[in-house]
A and B are shown apart, each in its own frame.
Chain A
Amino acid sequence: ETGVTQTPRHLVMGMTNKKSLKCEQHLGHNAMYWYKQSAKKPLELMFVYNFKEQTENNSVPSRFSPECPNSSHLFLHLHTLQPEDSALYLCASSQNIGQGRAFFGQGTRLTVV
């Protein structure tokens, strides 16, 4: 039981494709996050949303485009990705920014071919 659900679990896409990752949380949290986990690298924070407003973009390339229509849903839109973008993309939520622990989804394993 995590309360944070990510779909799809696995995704293979070509460099010219457009796809979206979805994250949904049923915990009543106000903050949501996207992380990227590449092989042999620490988790990298990509985007932070608080009450649907983006509060941080950690120099993420524009080929990654987040969307947060409400506090329960978070999307990551992908287009013209590169093979080095292949990674595990993890969504997380917390009660508020800076408060409480983060609850993570199971991640989307993305492979760019």
Chain B
Amino acid sequence: AQKITQTQPGMFVQEKEAVTLDCTYDTSDQSYGLFWYKQPSSGEMIFLIYQGSYDEQNATEGRYSLNFQKARKSANLVISASQLGDSAMYFCAMREVFNNNDMRFGAGTRLTVKP
């Protein structure tokens, strides 16, 4: 069974600094996708960034980048130049393309940006 692990229940970062949120995954499939979502207090899950298992370059989307280390099965999210509005829950998710098409989520990390 696929498994997503986020080991940091909570993280603090100073405004304007960078922060890394950890995510490791477990899969026997070769084709899969990795996702990061942000969930503010309003409840909506906001898509941030996607990395395909065959992508050779790390994904980047504005201030978000994904540090993809396939051999280690890790997909850490890096947020640069943190803003107060970045305070939220962050979820890592994975979808296996062939074995299981459902998107499974980690337990999440609560990020708090301090002014």
Interface residues of A (CB under 8 A from B): 2, 33, 40-43, 45, 48, 56, 88, 90, 92, 94, 97-98, 101-107, 109
Those of B35-72 within 8 Å (CB) of chain A? 35, 37, 42-47, 50
CB contacts between A and B, total, < 8 Å: 51
A112 to B8, CA, bound (A): 30
Looking at the assembled complex, report how far the CB atom of A47 sits from the nearest CB atom of chain B, in whole angstroms: 10
Would B45 and A42 count as touching, CB distance under 8 A? no
Minimum distance in angstroms from B85 CB to a CB of chain A: 17
Is the CB–CB distance between B45 and A45 below 8 Å?
no
Are A107's CB and B43's CB within 8 A?
Answer: yes
Q: What is the minimal beta-carbon distance from B61 to any residue of chain A, in angstroms? A: 12
What is the bound-complex CA distance between A43 and B104, given in angstroms?
8
Asked whether B43 lies within 8 Å of A41 as measured between CB atoms, the reply is no
**Is the beta-carbon distance between A42 and B42 smaller than 8 angstroms?**
no
Q: Are A106 and B47 in contact, with the CB atoms below 8 A?
A: no
Given A90-B45, A101-B50, A104-B45, A45-B102 contact (CB < 8 Å) = yes
In the complex the two chains form, is B95's CB within 8 Å of A109's CB?
A: no
Report A-chain residues with C-beta under 8 Å of the C-beta of B44. 2, 104-107
